[in-house]
Amino acid sequence: MLPSLRKFILVIVLAAIVSCQSTPTSLSKRTVPSSQTKTPDNWAVSKANSSPTIAGCQVFPADNPWNQDISQEPVDVNADKYIASINRGGKFLNPNFGSKAKYGIPYTIVDSTQPKVPVQFEYVDESDPDPYPIPPNPPIQASEDRHLIILEKDNCMLYELYNAQYSEDVGWSAGTGAIFDLKSNALRPDCWTSADAAGLAILPGLVRYDEVASGKIQHALRLSVSQTQQAFIHPATHYASRFTNPNLPPMGLRLRLKASFDTSRYTGQARVILNALKKYGLIVADNGTSWNITGAPDRRWNDDDLNQLKQVPGSAFEVIASGAIRKEC
């Protein structure tokens, strides 16, 4: 064999070996954080806004779907049927947060010195392994979902738990746990849940007092609906339904407030939120009462002001074409 040909074959073989070594072995043997590196098919980088920030951390990169300007995206061909199905579980927008701690999902911020502790998971196969930097007496959602949200600000890592519990005998336990690198666009594996039913991070979709007080929200908001389809659209990676009706919204479906809806008659905090719903919209993330949007509780919220949102009908929203619907797990 000619030396030049032998050298060429050697190069090809070495390249193949490197390629095989760089391929993940399986989703069940992942390292923390658990995520995929592929880019979702519904991202519009050209319409990306700057990232919102919390405690100096960007909340995902600017081209992430949570931060995407969808004001000019086309309407989904099935939009009217989706809206009709959502309206069967409630017909008006509802802010599921306010000045009282029992409403909304709280979060806490720690630094890298916070000791990490083990957590026992009910659903081990779809949870990111411990330890988690849980401080003493952290705020936990008051509802039965008992979400525990922790932002570690030095490394911009987000830790989220569903049904978080503490006992002297066991220590910390939870239904599921998910870890997100806020500097990355990586998704969880398809068909994996998170601390949220849709496999999404929760913190990026919360309405926060400080951003509303600044006069603008720069991201989509988390939405629950009464019934969902057994399907999901990226960035969601999980469904929580056995219904196959194609007119039910899949997890990850994106909605926006119609451009024609007049927000000028709304004031204060409510108007800031409505303006965001025209630009960034809502992402279906959970089953629950239809049109519930989630925020972080804060004693500074003006509940009377927020109650204006309850006058906004579901018919004021439209569904945008969000990407491929995935139904198989």
Condensed to tens digits (0 to 9), the pLDDT of residues 153-189 reads 999 999 999 999 999 999 999 999 999 999 999 999 9
Mean per-residue pLDDT for 288-300? 98
Question: Alpha carbon of 151 to those of 57, 59, 135, 137, 169: distances in Å?
Answer: 9, 10, 11, 15, 26
Pairing of strands 221-225, 108-110: unpaired
Condensed to tens digits (0 to 9), the pLDDT of residues 224-268 reads 999 999 999 999 999 999 999 999 999 999 999 999 999 999 999
Nearest to 224 by CA among 269, 179, 288: 288
Residue 238 CA to residue 200 CA, distance in Å, equals: 8
Indicate left, alpha or beta for 260 from its phi (over 0: left) and psi (-120 to 50: alpha).
alpha
Asked if 150 contacts 110 with a C-beta cutoff of 8 angstroms, the reply is: yes
**Residue 125's pLDDT is what?**
96
**Residue 49's pLDDT is what?**
60
Mean per-residue pLDDT for 49-59? 91
Condensed to tens digits (0 to 9), the pLDDT of residues 98-117 reads 999 999 999 999 999 999 99
pLDDT band at 15 (very low <50, low <70, confident <90, very high): very low
Phi, psi of 54 (to 5 degrees): -135, 125
Q: Is 318 helix (H, G, I), strand (E, B) or coil?
A: strand
Domain ranges of the chain: 45-319
